[in-house]
Amino acid sequence: MVTRLDNYSYAWPDTEDWTLREVSLVLPQGECHCLSGASGAGKTTLALALKGLLPPGRQDGRLITAAAPGEGRAAVGVVLQNPETQILAETVGAEVAFGLENLCLPPGQMAARVRAALDAVGLELAFEHTTSHLSMGQKYRLLLAAQLVMQPALLILDEPAGQLDEGGLQSLAKIIAHQKANGLAVLLCEHRPVPLQAVIDKHWHLDAAGRLQTGSNGKPSIPSSQPAKERFDNAHPVVEVQGLRVHADDATPAWREVDLQLQAGQRALLCAPNGAGKTTLLRCLAGLLRPAQGSIRVCGQQLGKDHVNRIGYLFQNPRRQLFETTVFAEVAFSLRRQGLRREKLSARVNSTLARCHIAHLSGRSPHQLSYGQQHLVALASVLAKEPDLLLLDDPLAGLDPKAAAMVMAILIETSEQQGTTLLWTSHHQPELGDRNHVRYGIEGGRLVQY
């Protein structure tokens, strides 16, 4: 059984450009192929094409998927990016059985298939275990089980590294290796394949024109890979946190108490696994979560209402921040609220857009941009108010290496030119050259500096 595409082209309805152009691809059983490409290049489109879920647009060429013989089987399984919108049932058993219900498998045959699928991904959980209590890594493995239960010939995973930390990726690599040995073909749509390198048999790259080429595109050029070594002994403190604790009802982070000091212009990375409490700490620093104990001082003053203009916060999902009808208005919003006069506001917005390389998008609707462009717009809207402290919640998540390098370059420039203090989080060790002055992790319930 082989899945193959022969000179396959596809254009979405009501669009002139082809998203995929003359793509030829063979996915033999027992092999894992990795498909890389910039955000918006068409990786998800290709995955949906293989699954047969694309709407009827213009098509050319041939697509042959492996047949699905036997009762309760699907030819192709797909795990999409966000586990939160893919878990459809309240309990582990019902979740895994969902596909079997849709395939009309007799109920009496379901339990054994569900248990076997859970075993295949190493989830020893009772059927009645609630899905909402699972960690991100467990949720991803549950979704894998929910696909494997349908015994597909091809399994497609759309950007797993965007969701999983190092531990989660190691588990995934073991599962893929095991499934390959059982004859399953796997296609990873991933622009950060390094942690899964051991199980990948072949690399493909989808270019911006939608053409498929063999081999990965290599790493993007980085401004500099030398770690920053400046000293900040004489700089004034921007963040001073002492004995910070949160209420157990608000959050249950891996840290119990946090002490943290960051100076003006310092760049700090907090690197910890999923669920460790990175976002909780950022929310405390932004004044969004009231601590149970401890003190937070920003720019020498206790955190209060006046700090709104001094703190910038970039959320993990930029779409949560966008609401205006044009990119210009989006970036100008905070400045209008600060009461800036029109000329000064216009100059500030234009310079910020230029710094973020999106000046050409000024008149476009932010909602019609690609994910990478939306990310830059959200970043520009935060940078425009020139905050003293910039908090960034996993700012590189979901970005291809080129876009991630661009975001890092903008952040470094901002920190060096404006003296902005940066604290950003990630669940991956930095690959793009560690340009941070300080790196933190969470060990033994405390923040530790590496």
Partner 1 sequence: MFSTSLRVTQKKRQGTKGRALISAELALLLCFVLSLAAIVERSPTSLAWLTLANVLLLLIHRLDRQVLKRGIRLCLWQGGVVTGLYLLRYGPDAGLMPGLRVSWQLLLVFLPGLILFSGGSASRLAQALSKILPARSAFVLAASLKFLPLLVTEIAAIHEAQRLRGARIRPRDLLWPGNWGDLLHCLVAPVVVRVLEIADNIACAARCREFGRFPGRTCWPGDQENTP
Rounded to an integer, what distance in angstroms lies between the CA atom of residue 175 and that of residue 293? 42
Of 251-290, which residues contact partner 1 (CB under 8 A)? 283, 286, 288
User: Shortest gap between Cβ of 214 and partner 1 (angstroms)?
Assistant: 27
* Shorter beta-carbon distance to partner 1: residue 250 or 257: 250
Q: Total number of residues binding partner 1 (CB under 8 A)?
A: 80
Residue 17 beta carbon to partner 1: minimum distance, rounded to whole angstroms: 21
Residue 36, judged by CB atoms within 10 A of its CB (0-12, 13-18, 19+), counts as: buried
Cβ at position 127, least distance to partner 1 in Å:
4
Which of 14, 16, 124, 233: binder of partner 1 (CB under 8 A)? Answer: 124
Q: How far is the CB of 450 from partner 1 (least distance, A)?
A: 29
Q: Is 448 among the residues that bind partner 1 (CB under 8 A)?
A: no
119 near partner 1, rule: CB under 8 A: yes
What does the alpha-carbon distance between residue 440 and residue 450 come to, in Å, rounded to a whole number? Answer: 6
CB of 38 vs partner 1, minimal distance in Å = 21
Closest approach of partner 1 to the CB of residue 369, in Å: 13
Cα angle: 342, vertex 346, 396; to 5 degrees: 135
Q: What are phi and psi of 358, to 5 degrees?
A: -130, 25
| Binding segment toward partner 1, per CB under 8 A, in 11-19, 192-200, 304-312, 346-354 | 304-312
Q: Which helix (H) or strand (E) holds 375?
A: helix 371-383
Q: Is 82 in the site for partner 1 (CB under 8 A)?
A: yes
Is 311 a binder of partner 1 (CB under 8 A)?
Answer: yes
Q: Record the tokens describing residue 326, joined without a space.
A: 């044009």
In angstroms, the CA 36 to CA 215 distance is: 9
Angle separating helix axes 342-355 and 327-338, nearest 10 degrees: 130
Q: Kindly state whether residue 319 participates in binding partner 1, applying the rule CB under 8 A.
A: yes
Taking CB under 8 A as the criterion, the residue among 27, 34, 50, 110 binding partner 1 is 110
- Residue 45 Cβ vs partner 1, minimum distance, rounded to whole Å: 12
Residues of this chain, 36-55, that bind partner 1 according to CB under 8 A:
48, 51, 53
- In the list 1, 26, 63, 80, the residue contacting partner 1 (rule: CB under 8 A) is 80
Other CB atoms within 10 Å distance of the CB of residue 154: 23
Residue choice 41, 97, 340, 447 for contact with partner 1 (CB under 8 A)? 97
The single residue among 2, 89, 235, 359 that binds partner 1, judged by CB under 8 A, is 89
Q: How many CB atoms lie within 10 A of CB 225?
A: 9
> Among 179, 190, 160, 152, which Cα is nearest to 33's?
190
- Nearest approach in angstroms of CB 283 to partner 1 is 7
Measured distance CA(159)–CA(81) in Å, rounded: 6
52/3 Cα distance (integer angstroms): 12
| Nearest residue (CB) to partner 1, 242 versus 316 | 316
**Which residues neighbour 399 within 8 Å (Cβ) at sequence distance 6 or greater?**
39, 371, 372, 375, 407
**With binding defined as CB under 8 A, does residue 249 bind partner 1?**
yes
Return the C-alpha torsion angle 249, 253, 259, 262, nearest 10. -110
Q: Which helix (H) or strand (E) holds 202?
A: strand 202-206
Nearer to partner 1, 112 or 341 (CB): 112
How far, in Å, CA of 76 to CA of 52, rounded? 9
Task: Pick the binder of partner 1 from 8, 10, 313, 424 (CB under 8 A).
Answer: 313
Q: How far is the CB of 384 from partner 1 (least distance, A)?
A: 10
Least spacing, CB of residue 102 vs partner 1, in Å:
4
- Minimum CB distance to partner 1 smaller for 111 or for 347: 111
Per CB under 8 A, contacts with partner 1 among 379-408 are: 381-382
Chain positions 127 to 166 lying near partner 1, rule: CB under 8 A, are 127-130, 132-134, 146-147, 150
Q: According to the binding rule CB under 8 A, does residue 91 interact with partner 1?
A: yes
As given in the structure block, the two tokens for residue 198 are 């051991």
Under the binding rule (CB under 8 A), the answer on residue 370 touching partner 1 is: no
**Spatial distance between the Cα atoms of 145 and 151, rounded to a whole number of angstroms:** 10
Q: How far is the CB of 413 from partner 1 (least distance, A)?
A: 22
Instruction: Output the CA torsion 251→80→366→400 (10° steps).
Output: 90
Give the burial string for 177-206 (b: 16+ CB within 10 Å, else e): eebbeeebbbbbbbbbbebbeebbeebbbb
Of residues 169-208, those binding partner 1 (CB under 8 A): 174, 177-178
97 vs 409 by CB, closer to partner 1? 97
Q: How crowded is residue 413: how many other Cβ atoms within 10 Å of its Cβ?
A: 14
Q: Say which amino acid occupies 165.
A: D
CB contact set of 170 (below 8 Å; sequence gap of 6+): 195
Kindly tell me which residue out of 333, 402, 431, 432 binds partner 1, with binding defined by CB under 8 A. Answer: 333
- Considering the rule CB under 8 A, would residue 63 count as an interface residue with partner 1? no
374 binds partner 1 (CB under 8 A): no
Interaction with partner 1 in 1-40: which residues (CB under 8 A)? none
